[in-house]
Amino acid sequence: MTLTATKPATEPATQPATDWLAVCRLDELEPLYAEAALVHGEQVALIRLPSDEVMAVSHWDPHAQAYVMARGIVGSRDGSPTLASPLHKQVYDLTTGRCLTEPDLRIRSFPVRVRDRIVEVLAA
């Protein structure tokens, strides 16, 4: 499944305008699996954790030079959620984007929130 973000039609007057984009319903994401989404023209991998927290990182694998991270292996290391590249198994911290196995590599991470069971990604 490929998801495409849409901007909400209106935002409450009490909140400043932002670039939070609705991407999908939380129920469309399986826990411990990743899905690719297009956010402002950028490919993003969304990962739902068992706690229903959702993480978002770039779908681009800097080592393999391919858009494959949504097919990676979700796990954890020292209490932090991780995503391993499906091709060469580099392991990235989902919170920071830092590669734990090759310190010179990094993937971009994106702020995510779930409001009313809708997953929204902040794109800049």
Give the range of the structural domain holding residue 42, as residue numbers without chain letter.
Answer: 19-122
CB of 44 within 8 A of CB of 67?
no
Give domain status of residue 96, yes or no. yes
Average pLDDT over residues 89-106: 97
Q: Which one-letter amino acid corresponds to residue 9? A: A
Separation between Cα atoms, residue 108 and residue 120, nearest integer Å: 16
Give domain status of residue 110, yes or no. yes
pLDDT in tens, 27-53: 999 999 999 999 989 999 999 999 999
In what order do the strands lie in the sheet containing 118-122?
Answer: 20-25, 118-122, 112-115
Report the CATH number that the domain containing residue 96 is assigned in CATH.
2.102.10.10
Give domain status of residue 42, yes or no. yes
pLDDT computed for residue 3 by the predictor? 59
Is 69 or 19 the better-scoring residue by pLDDT? 69
Percent share of the chain, pLDDT over 90: 81
Q: How many domains does the chain have?
A: 1
Give domain status of residue 8, yes or no. no
Separation between Cα atoms, residue 82 and residue 48, nearest integer Å: 12
* pTM of the full structure: 0.83
Average pLDDT over residues 108-118: 97
Reported as half-sphere exposure (CB side, CA atoms, 13 A), residue 114 has a value of 17
Average pLDDT value for the chain: 89
pLDDT computed for residue 40 by the predictor? 86
